[in-house]
């Protein structure tokens, strides 16, 4: 949400993007786009592509410029890597480039940002070990941290303004006494000292991993209950005092209090919902 504009994406095969204007307590549909002011980048998981759209000051959307990615053959995890799967798109700290985590291609694509959508270009790709499945990335100064969904690892990178360079060995997560299948969300504390990652796959209760960050390197790991199953998404509050988790599998929104000195988490409340896959603060 930007001021009174709300942008919504539809998780469908035709990649629908809608713009709503908030007027009082009502949402009014202003523009809708399928298939200047600002640019919107949308990762399309099923088609393995990124849609780039100009957002005009009056809420109108331009036609879509699509950048598609391809892979040769089938990846190491055949069921998930039969083709490109663009999972996330995120701008660089200076907004000059956009980075795409491609779970299917085991790659992080670098896109250059142009004055309008049609000038966005696929500049290069950073490859990661086969079967890793990069899902989400978070930047902090000249560092980036990526969750590898399929290999259940977290990798630190150095960012030089364009490319990413792996720093040290990836850290494999393994919550004690819990079954782990995949990783999901990643977030960094406001001071850049603690990295949080959601772990998925336990039939009873999943975990949030806490990794210490020192000089851009990943250190000690601790685990805390997510308060439910399949924590697909979570968010830190802007002040870093709270963490909200969307446990998709158990249909629960869980609020955890965060110790700012140690980074440790403690569940304070749980709210039930029939369908939840996102948790945020506003």
Nearest CA among 69, 57, 5, 63 for reference residue 34: 63
Query: Which residue reads 């670098």 in tokens?
Result: 110
What's residue 274's pLDDT? Answer: 82
What's residue 16's pLDDT? Answer: 59
Tell me how far apart the alpha carbons of residues 192 and 170 are, in angstroms, rounded to a whole number.
Answer: 18
213: which strand partners?
218
* Tens-digit pLDDT string for the chain (282 aa): 455 656 666 666 655 556 565 555 454 434 444 434 588 899 999 999 999 999 887 777 888 899 999 999 999 999 999 999 999 999 999 999 999 999 999 999 999 998 889 989 999 999 999 999 999 999 999 999 999 999 999 999 999 999 999 999 999 999 999 999 999 999 999 999 999 999 999 999 999 999 999 999 999 999 999 999 999 999 999 999 999 999 999 999 999 999 999 999 999 999 998 889 999 887
Render 176-237 in DSSP notation, one character per residue.
TTS---EEEEEEE-TTSSEEEEEEE--SS--EEEEEEEETTEEEEEEEEE-SSS-EEEEEE-
Q: Are 251 and 275 in contact (CB under 8 A)?
A: yes
What's residue 59's pLDDT? Answer: 73
Would you tell me which CATH number, out of the four given (3.55.50.30, 2.60.40.1510, 2.40.10.220, 2.130.10.10), belongs to the domain 75-272? 2.130.10.10
Tell me how far apart the alpha carbons of residues 7 and 202 are, in angstroms, rounded to a whole number.
Answer: 33
- Two tokens at 277? 């896959």
What's residue 36's pLDDT? Answer: 45
Tell me how far apart the alpha carbons of residues 36 and 39 are, in angstroms, rounded to a whole number.
Answer: 7
Residues 181-196 have pLDDT tens digits of 999 999 999 999 999 9
What's residue 21's pLDDT? Answer: 58
Q: Are 130 and 78 in contact (CB under 8 A)?
A: no
Nearest CA among 229, 179, 230, 234 for reference residue 210: 234
What's residue 28's pLDDT? Answer: 45
Contacts of 220 (CB under 8 A, 6+ apart): 211, 212
What's residue 34's pLDDT? Answer: 40
Q: Are 225 and 176 in contact (CB under 8 A)?
A: no
């Amino acid at each position: 949400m930007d001021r009174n504009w709300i942008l919504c994406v539809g998780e469908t095969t035709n990649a629908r993007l809608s713009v709503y204007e908030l007027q009082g307590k009502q949402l009014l549909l202003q523009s809708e786009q399928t298939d200047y002011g600002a640019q919107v980048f949308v990762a399309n998981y099923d088609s393995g592509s990124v849609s780039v759209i100009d957002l005009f000051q009056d809420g109108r959307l331009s036609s879509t410029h699509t950048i598609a990615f391809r892979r040769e053959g089938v990846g190491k995890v055949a069921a998930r890597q039969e083709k490109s799967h663009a999972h996330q798109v995120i701008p660089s700290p200076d907004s000059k480039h956009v980075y795409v985590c491609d779970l299917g291609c085991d790659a992080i694509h670098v896109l250059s940002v142009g004055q309008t959508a049609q000038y966005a270009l696929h500049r290069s790709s950073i490859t990661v070990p086969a079967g890793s499945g990069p899902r989400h990335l978070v930047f902090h100064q000249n560092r980036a941290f990526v969750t590898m969904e399929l290999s259940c690892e977290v990798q630190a990178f150095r960012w030089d303004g364009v490319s990413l360079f792996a720093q040290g060995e990836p850290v494999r997560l393994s919550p004690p006494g819990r079954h782990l299948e995949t990783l999901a969300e990643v977030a960094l504390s406001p001071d850049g000292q603690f990295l949080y990652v959601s772990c998925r796959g336990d039939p009873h209760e999943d975990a949030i991993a806490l990794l210490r960050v020192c000089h851009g390197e990943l250190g000690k790991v601790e685990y805390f209950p997510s308060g439910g199953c399949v924590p697909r998404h979570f968010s830190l509050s802007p002040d870093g005092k709270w963490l909200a988790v969307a446990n998709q599998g158990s249909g629960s929104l869980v609020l955890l209090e965060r110790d700012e000195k140690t980074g440790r988490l403690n569940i304070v409340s749980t709210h039930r919902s029939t369908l939840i896959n996102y948790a945020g603060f506003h």
